[in-house]
């Protein structure tokens, strides 16, 4: 009986068609008829955010690995490929779309808390923050868009900030190519009414202005990747931080994604967020009124959390002659031992920065009267 069963199984096996993974230039190929793809990292499925672009070679999908390895699955509308990814590993394959081959890379990376100098804030690093005392620009913004109604009934500053960044997030869909005629909140929102969509930069500008308009000191923050000088694209992201008086701390917000990171129910600033991703991922929360997922946001933003920069002069209005310090307009926080970057994406000189390795310099509390001194 056993012999007959084995013989029957062999016949069925031989009768099955043999499927071989299609290859191109020695790499696996999966097929697609749509340029939109999904991917799953661990247990988190991210739908509709990946665009297949044959002109980008390779197009890199970063795969975060919180342990020794992580399973990643890439789905087109017709096909899929699954791999086990380790930190530092690269898995290359092609997506065949409309007769073209899109070289795609799944690149694993681990998580490491950056190290900084734990020094007291330098008194010489002074910042100016908006007080909104009879500020015509901010009061016009506040009235025109009824910003007080957005935060009406909020029980604390955290809730106010969450409501405001959610409102800004909902004003337009992200477009990484468009720029406004002028980089101020009123101009941006007017152009949004005409159907224009903007970059992360504009989400940062508008959310910062709206928070300043309702009396919460806020500042635009630039993030940059470790390879900011050598990569040719995708080296920067812009978001914002707001100072919450009831908590007496700076807190990170991202208008493009509608997010506020929190740990043990305490909102985090950008540096604290980077540390929490590396050290407390399971306990980390991404607060979002529109439901942005923790895994997809962390996976996307983590590489940008390496260099952090803010302006010295954060006043609001049109045609402001901004104050500088030693001829520089911004302060950049650099990890201990890391290079002070001087070029953005190979060819754009970055000349506006002073550098520090102490988070205390970046996270000084706003002065009560920030206009009483000059930075020059």
Tens of pLDDT, residue by residue over 249-277, are 999 999 999 999 999 999 999 999 999 99
* Mutual angle of helices 200-213 and 157-169, in 10-degree steps: 140
pTM for this entry: 0.80
Q: Which domains does the chain have, with CATH numbers?
A: 18-109 (no CATH), 128-362 (3.10.620)
Tens of pLDDT, residue by residue over 155-180, are 999 999 999 999 999 999 999 999 99
Per-residue confidence in pLDDT tens, the chain, 376 aa: 444 445 444 444 444 444 447 999 999 999 999 999 999 998 888 889 899 999 999 999 989 887 789 999 999 999 999 999 999 999 999 999 999 999 999 999 889 999 999 999 998 899 999 988 899 999 999 999 999 999 999 999 999 999 999 999 999 999 999 999 999 999 999 999 999 999 999 999 999 999 999 999 999 999 999 999 999 999 999 999 999 999 999 999 999 999 999 999 999 999 999 999 999 998 999 999 999 999 889 989 999 999 999 999 999 999 899 999 999 999 999 999 999 999 999 999 999 999 999 999 999 999 744 444 444 4
- Say if residues 263 and 278 touch (Cβ distance below 8 Å): no
- Calculate the alpha carbon distances from 97 to 24, 77, 106 in Å: 13, 11, 18
The answer for 201, left when phi > 0, alpha when psi is -120 to 50, beta otherwise, is: alpha
Q: Which pLDDT belongs to residue 296? A: 84
* Chain center to CA of 6: 57
């Amino acid at each position: 009986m056993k012999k007959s069963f084995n013989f029957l199984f062999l016949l069925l096996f031989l009768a099955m068609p043999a499927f071989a993974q299609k290859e191109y230039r020695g790499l696996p190929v999966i097929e697609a008829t749509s340029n939109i793809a999904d991917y799953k990292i661990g247990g988190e499925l991210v739908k509709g955010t990946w665009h297949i672009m044959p002109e980008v070679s390779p197009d890199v999908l970063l795969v975060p690995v919180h342990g020794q390895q992580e399973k990643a699955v890439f789905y087109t509308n017709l096909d899929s490929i699954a791999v086990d990814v380790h930190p530092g590993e690269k898995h290359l394959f092609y997506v065949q779309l409309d007769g073209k081959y899109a070289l795609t890379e799944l690149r694993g990376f681990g998580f490491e808390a950056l190290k900084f100098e734990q020094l007291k804030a330098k008194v010489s690093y002074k910042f100016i923050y908006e007080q909104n005392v009879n500020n015509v620009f901010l009061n016009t913004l506040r009235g025109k868009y009824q910003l007080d109604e957005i935060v009406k009934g909020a029980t604390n500053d955290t809730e106010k900030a969450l409501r405001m960044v959610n409102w800004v997030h909902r004003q337009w869909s992200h477009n990484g190519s468009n720029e406004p005629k002028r980089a101020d909140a009123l101009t941006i929102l007017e152009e949004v009414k005409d159907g224009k969509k903007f970059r992360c930069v504009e989400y940062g500008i508008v959310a910062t202005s709206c928070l300043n308009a309702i009396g919460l000191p806020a500042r635009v923050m630039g993030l940059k990747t470790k390879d900011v000088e050598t990569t040719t694209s995708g080296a920067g992201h812009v978001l914002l931080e707001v100072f919450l008086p009831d908590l007496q701390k700076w807190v990170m917000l991202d208008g493009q994604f509608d997010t506020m990171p929190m740990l043990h129910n305490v909102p985090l600033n950008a540096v604290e967020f980077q540390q929490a991703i590396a050290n407390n991922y399971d306990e980390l929360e991404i607060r979002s009124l529109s439901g942005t997922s923790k895994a997809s946001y962390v996976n996307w933003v983590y590489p940008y959390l390496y260099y952090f920069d803010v302006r010295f002069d954060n006043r609001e209005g049109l045609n402001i002659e901004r104050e500088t310090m030693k001829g520089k307009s911004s302060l950049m926080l650099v990890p201990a031992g890391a290079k002070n970057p001087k070029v953005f994406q190979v060819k754009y000189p970055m000349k506006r920065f002073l550098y520090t390795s102490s988070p205390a310099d970046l996270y000084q509390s706003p002065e009560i009267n920030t206009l009483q001194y000059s930075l020059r």
